[in-house]
Amino acid sequence: MTFERSVFSEVFTTNAALRKDAPRSVTSYERQLNEYSGTVSRLREALAGEEELLRQKDRLIQSREVLSMEADHRLLNGLQMIVSLLSMQSRTVPSADAAQHLTTAANRVATLARVHRRLHSLDRQEAVAFKRFLQELCGEYRSMLASDDRRKQTIVVEGCDASLPAATAVPLSLIVNELITNAAKHGQGVITVRLEETPEGGHLLSVCNEGPPLPEDFDPAASKGLGMKIVQALVEQIGGKLGVDRCEHCGGPRFAVAFA
């Protein structure tokens, strides 16, 4: 067989093989195209399902916000109604002493309503000028203490200015609420709320008063009081650490929360 005839034979054989495999190649291509189309269809269905889940989530969030606003509105209305009833009752009781007690109770409930409204305002903020907020918050407590003639106490706010995330400021505000309540109940004299920077770059929030010192074996983690349990839970929520010692400024008991 000459070289030209050999080449021609190979080309003929190759073309014949290609023609023979052509239907198989088309079939394979069509099968792959169908598989691709099916995959695209399933992806579109999955994407549509995810979009519907996101819409449902948005509706749930909106519904939750509406319910929360409604609950807050009802709570504030309920507190205002209590204030009105106590005030009305104080004007009708024959005893001046009883009237004074009712007026004091009405003032306390009104203060609680203002504190709740002030705390709830943080939900719509990303960052809080915390010292200024503490001054405003403690102003509410100061007026509540002043309404009780039996308590000769006041509250001062000291320390540095700091901008804190609302997710940290709200639990800290609730911690201050519990510690001030505790100091007003068991202590005396001036209650000092102090915000300080730490050498490590964090902050230290403390509440102290001029009252008698705590027992040496006092352990806040072992306390059975509801207020201290709330404080412990809030401190854990912000990843902080609660300490109890004697204040170097006033000599009374000091509760301090260190947080990053």
Last residue of a domain, one of 80, 108, 124: 124
* pLDDT mean by block of 10 residues, the chain; 260 residues: 46 48 64 77 83 81 69 72 83 84 76 72 78 86 68 82 86 86 80 90 90 76 78 90 84 88
Percent of residues in the chain assigned helix, strand, coil, to nearest 5: 65, 15, 20
Examine the domain organization and report whether 78 and 53 are in the same domain: yes
Residue 8 has a pLDDT of: 41
CA distances from 57 to 2, 62, 70 (A): 79, 9, 20
Residue 58 has a pLDDT of: 79
Examine the domain organization and report whether 80 and 30 are in the same domain: yes
Last residue of a domain, one of 124, 153, 178: 124
Phi and psi at residue 217, to the nearest 5°: -95, 15
Work out the burial of residue 72: count CB atoms within 10 Å of its CB; fewer than 13 is exposed, 13-18 middle, 19 or more buried.
middle
Examine the domain organization and report whether 240 and 135 are in the same domain: yes
Number of domains in the chain: 2
Examine the domain organization and report whether 133 and 257 are in the same domain: yes
Q: Are 206 and 194 in contact (CB under 8 A)?
A: yes
Q: Are 144 and 107 in contact (CB under 8 A)?
A: yes
Examine the domain organization and report whether 21 and 84 are in the same domain: yes
CATH code for the domain in which residue 258 is found: 3.30.565.10
Examine the domain organization and report whether 135 and 238 are in the same domain: yes
Residue 188 has a pLDDT of: 75
Residue 147 has a pLDDT of: 62
Residue 66 has a pLDDT of: 67
CA distances from 178 to 19, 60, 162 (A): 88, 32, 21
Q: Are 211 and 152 in contact (CB under 8 A)?
A: no
Place of tokens 């800290």: 172
Examine the domain organization and report whether 241 and 145 are in the same domain: yes
Residue 256 has a pLDDT of: 92
Residue 150 has a pLDDT of: 54
Q: Between vectors from CA 104 to CA 210 and to CA 120, what angle results, nearest 5°?
A: 80
Q: Are 212 and 250 in contact (CB under 8 A)?
A: no
In the chain, which ranges are E strands? 127-129, 154-159, 163-165, 190-197, 203-209, 241-246, 253-259
Residue 157 has a pLDDT of: 92
Residue 59: domain span: 1-124
Place of tokens 């929520």: 237
Identity of residue 102 = L
